[in-house]
Structure 1
């Protein structure tokens, strides 16, 4: 069940949050899966104090449309040098000399390989023709391929005839790019406004030509064969992004028939929130979360939306909502037969004639939408709302459109994560759709202005539905505080404990223990050197198998801000590590992606009750048992079992920090998660045969919650270990024949391949 917790700020902590709030939010999300919001604090403007890897442009999606064959075309404002996609397109010259503009930026980001491959090609085959495209590996860019395309080069003031000739060449360049996407079976490609910069192609004409060509390509016979999933039109400057959006709106709106106009989907980008209005049935949505408006009796047969969801999901959802505890305005249930991951059931109050009660009903609706948004932002990427309150609750259609939009606008001002928000209107309900459509036009007008934050402030202050908004929203901003929303009480409490230790410290020293520090490379050490200023010093250490960084200084605020940036670097390193491991796992078992689930075991089931005794003997009370299901890890474990000729595995335990629970479920065991207090038997992955032994192997500072991973471990042919081993020793004189593991007595085993252990359960405990 979701949990919310507020942390008041005072003294130096206010200054720290003012300077580093964005970094703080990112780290809390990465470490604990919690969303952090800040009230009563004005963040500093100017150069960001957060992660140095953050791109200079915050990615924003501005427009999406489905093309023939299901290909999705989208306009993005983003930095191509770090856009996550299968292939990026470079606007190249015919000699492939990447010495200016986007070409230079991509070449620098991709490393020496980009220019080296280009030079090799030119030396072998000569220059490219205008309209040609060529595919190379992407070097250090975060994609698989880079496509160099040569667009037409115009004079600064081209004539009409020059522009007419260039149009066909630009069309050919775009067609060549899409041909390469097809030939290389790429799923996605990011295309900039080719020729519009240094090559002087007029921007409006360039946008029209690119959009028209992409549209025509997928409507013609040229698109037969492989079809990509996504075509992204990506640029990092506002004028170009606006022209691309304008061209898409104009071209795709004009191409619709009258009948198609009914299916139009207005969208608007509010910071990290992409808001979409659409007609449809809420029970058919495929977003991560579907929102239901439920009756106070929790009877899903009451209300049209609840009935539709109940009919599609099945009776299991009714049984769960009857038994589920409620906190705040929301109950979360599983999706059952719906095509989402979770259902958020909200409980709004009926609007009556009493003016005071009307305001309370409006507040309730606003808060219900807000709470759903913050809960979704913690673990999900998309959420779908029906038009809440337009049925038996008695709200007006325009009133609901305003209140729900108001809640999204308020959320968009604070959220640090991207979220897709859908307002889904029942198809025959034209009046409600028109009310929301009118509200969308108002939002688009405000959000398209140069100052997004100010525009939202204006929008919030001018909404007629909330004359008394200060009664329930504005007052909260007077007291500085951090609000944490997490998936459980344990996660929010872990985040609070970490935050409090960081923000409310008396010492001018921050010590960070994390073995992923060993993965720091040249970039990270350069970042560390930049943090050493104004009396701040940073020392790295590695003792007894544990890596650490100590930050010291004269000012607590400076030290904490520097420590936060180190934490942000570690979060980045860990995300990259997970991505690389998932790729390796996919290659090993020939699958497209890694899927996993952590299913909480009911307290009445044997899987829960059978574990109580062993943990109780160690003075621990079990709060939760999660079953880990990861088909890819299971296959790799079976392969390893066959390789080692093991007939059985041992049930063993490992105690890990909270931040690695998700990682072990996703990519299995690695030595970085849980180095023992004394690595007396080698530098591998340690397991204990009992809970008691795990408590001895992994002693730590007093903590509120302890996390144990139960695993099946293949020890195979084992031998006693010793300090310093990075692999098991050889069996006899044959240096190629190694033992499968090493031991430290009866209850400690050390393996050197993570695939020799399969995580089965994660047990969350509290010391009695």
Structure 2
């Protein structure tokens, strides 16, 4: 299946500004993979990475392990590893890059595997062809997914699963007698695995595997990533775990330390003199040295490259002082101990996320933290301060971003400060790329930017964003499991891209899960764009309305809110999976198998929809052993062994969630929650259409379920639990009811059996 939607006018701008977020939302809502042609994504359109070897070591068994900064889509190896999801839908990150570069055959083969063998489990690794890539095959590995702020126990469990994935990758290498394989930082990025721990787990797994494995061994394992922070962490992990046998840090076009030192740009901004220099931050002789840490709650100085260097130079007393040090909004203040400074300002910044609203929040935080360091130093009459390049490591900022943000903060400070101050940006000697990025930005502030020795900067934003006459027509292509999925995705897209007209409404009860962090992000969206965002909750349904004069601003902001909700839903599923595991000590996995249209199973479902003006398009049978086990336990607990067949009408975006972790009230709030705030079911499809009105919808989706209603009583508005049976405070009814309606308050009382897609013929 493939559906194409041509873009024109403002729709090109919308897609250009939030293509990756849009791709993620489309996949989550409709199970479709979106690819984009003829759209320049600006900062995301990167030149090919020139291959750079950073490290090499040979294991005792003779297998060579190397670290590379390179483009995995063009890597001269026999196999590359894709960081895949459980359904092998290649809709984002590295998976999308490989799929786009290798052609549609990769996605087709991936879907064939899922159709034949079912959804993969975390830690699994399977092989497909590589399409038009230069390698022979792709090994698709499912790494663990982590919530944004994972606990220690979650990291420990994820480490086990990530090492399992690496072992399975290497098993595929052995089975196919491959001579070389390129492995990226599986589970980092979209799956939120912290890069330092990810690097440690991968390198450890490779080392352990070849210490114990026999039989075929490859010539070389290449650890390949294209972003500098990840490459550095891989190099560090290899040095610590494998031993530093050979370093290639200055390979391929590097600049020697001596050469770089010949340039020390300085610019005077009012009373502030800003100097860029190569050096080690811990060796600076300024009044204040700035350090970077993970957060104000994590004061361990032994993690992070800059922190470790400062701790080693300052001594252990700095760590002890750190635990009790005072903290401002952005800075923890300590003495310098054995450093050659009076104070150390330990600043922190959040990791830059996938989407524009996350990027904006992190950029603003970094800007304000630099500004606060400067004003703190000024308030204490310090005359000099030295900064490292904050955020270019595991936080995910690009070098140019950091250079721009930090330089602008100094420029803003310089406009207001009345005292003289020396500010230094200190770049590690071998990090020439970062030095060049800062050099370019600092020279922008020179009073004579037209000096012949200064290379002209990049063209202003807004130029070069439109395709030339030779570029392909701007277009979104949608590839889904079925025609109806593609059709729904296309209709939804048309509404956003061509019909929004300054207003975008999102109806989704996961809006109720927005926390303080998410509310802050909504506020930041309103600061960034000339829009208003209004939340409402009426008759049991939550919605967000984004409004503004610009169609582009409204659509871009609305899509970022959608992406925010997708992340909340993913974390909700992960929490539910952990809760289920605690109850039955069983990992949660599911399959949806399409029922043959000529079978009795299909015709039996069809009979329930006769005379409703609906035509059955597809019936999927849901198989989930964990939910079945919980359902059986609930039967015994309630003493109810005769479930009723009932129906819900739900949006397509909740198919996977209901199949994965069962029923929850957020998926399908009724139009009128007249019988309580629980999970509603209707006795027939006809009644379901009354409970969940979906006017003018071409496709309707129903879940057929077995429901344990047990001992039931009449429902009433605002019930959050079933009422008591008599006066016993420990005995409640099992459910409540209305005419042809049952309401349960525990999702484990219902078991999804079929997901039924119908098309309206009216």
Alignment TM-score, normalising by the size of structure 1: 0.49
